[in-house]
């Protein structure tokens, strides 16, 4: 149960970040924005023992307001309003983000990496949100070639949905995978996904494969999408669904919608 709690605590930061708060792989989008440092949920605070990646010096060597766990004290940053005054690339794939307190003018530095959200280390709520360029979510679409001459384009969200476009020559197929982790068994068939516009994708005959996952059960259902269903996914975001008898809600539906548009080679 502890592993599941930590997983969903991490997903809280990942999914909530995409309410126009996440710069994704483009930290420059934060420049000149005011950000609020989100308080850590109790579960995350107990696990992380404070904030990570904040520094008092521009060389990113001295931890800001360091506690005994080598993290930044929660009380030193929670709910503070900071303005992003500079974004600079540093070693590897890291960026140094310079922050200035909007009241005291104190300067703090944050080390950003495109993996920090997945690790639960991105803590900012952007005041007024970010303005995303049209191709922003295309950064998250993965491309690969297979030895069989197939071209694969994959879109994944952390809430358990993956869509893969498989192309060979002039033909293309879209394969969707949905998954959920539950604590009890269900052998009922059926997959349903509901869009924000009220339309839905229904696969009543599809069965999910069930495997043990730690102390829980992992359900995975895989099925092909029709051209009409792909069109639906590009036009409206998924907001809820059902896998077997398990109800689901989705916060990353807009991210998935935008990635599906990228997979089709069109930016509407």
pTM of the model: 0.76
Q: Please tell me whether residues 198 and 91 are part of one structural domain.
A: no
Write out the two tokens for 221: 């259902």
Give yes or no: residues 58 and 108 share one domain. yes
Of 93, 126, 159, the residue that ends a domain is: 126
- Looking at the domain assignment, is residue 246 inside a domain? yes
pLDDT tens, 40-98?
Answer: 998 889 888 999 999 999 999 999 999 999 999 999 999 999 999 999 999 888 999 99
Q: Label residue 123 exposed, middle or buried (CB < 10 Å: 0-12, 13-18, 19+).
A: buried
pLDDT tens digits, 116-133? 888 889 999 999 999 999
Query: Does 182 lie in the same domain as 95?
Result: no
Tell me how far apart the alpha carbons of residues 84 and 98 are, in angstroms, rounded to a whole number: 6
The number of domains in the chain is: 2
Q: What is the CATH number of the domain that holds 247?
A: 2.60.40
CA distance 258 to 244: 27
**DSSP sequence for 55-99:** ESSTTS-SBTTB-TTSSB-HHHHTT-EEEEEEEEE-STT-EEEEE
Task: Give the whole-angstrom CA distance, residue 103 versus residue 80.
Answer: 9
CA distance 174 to 155: 11
Among 81, 101, 126, give the residue marking a domain's end.
Answer: 126
112 within a domain of the structure (yes/no): yes
Q: Report CA-CA distances (Å) from 86 to 26, 117, 197.
A: 13, 20, 40
Same domain, 81 and 141: no
CA distance 48 to 85: 27
């Amino acid at each position: 149960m502890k592993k599941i709690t930590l997983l969903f605590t991490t997903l809280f930061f990942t999914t909530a970040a995409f309410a126009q708060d996440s710069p994704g792989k483009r930290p420059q989008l934060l420049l000149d924005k005011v950000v609020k440092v989100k308080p850590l949920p109790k579960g995350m605070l107990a696990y992380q023992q404070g904030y990570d990646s904040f520094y008092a010096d521009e060389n990113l060597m001295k931890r800001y307001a360091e506690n005994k766990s080598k993290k930044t004290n929660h009380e030193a940053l929670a709910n503070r309003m900071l303005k992003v005054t500079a974004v600079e690339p540093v070693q590897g794939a890291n960026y140094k983000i310079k922050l200035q307190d909007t009241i005291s003018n104190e300067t703090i530095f944050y080390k950003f990496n495109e993996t920090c959200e997945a690790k639960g280390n991105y803590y900012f709520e952007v005041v007024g949100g970010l303005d995303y360029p049209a191709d922003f979510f295309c950064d998250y679409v993965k491309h690969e070639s297979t030895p069989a001459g197939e071209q694969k384009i994959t879109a994944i969200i952390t809430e358990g949905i993956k869509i893969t476009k498989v192309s060979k020559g002039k033909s293309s197929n879209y394969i969707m995978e949905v998954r959920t982790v539950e604590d009890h068994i269900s052998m009922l068939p059926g997959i349903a996904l509901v869009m924000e516009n009220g339309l839905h994708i229904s696969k009543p005959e599809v069965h999910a494969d069930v495997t043990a996952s730690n102390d829980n059960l992992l359900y995975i259902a895989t099925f092909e999408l029709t051209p009409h269903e792909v069109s639906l996914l590009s036009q409206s975001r998924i907001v809820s669904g059902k896998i077997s008898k398990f109800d689901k809600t989705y916060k990353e539906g807009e991210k998935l919608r935008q990635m599906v548009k990228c997979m089709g080679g069109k930016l509407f």
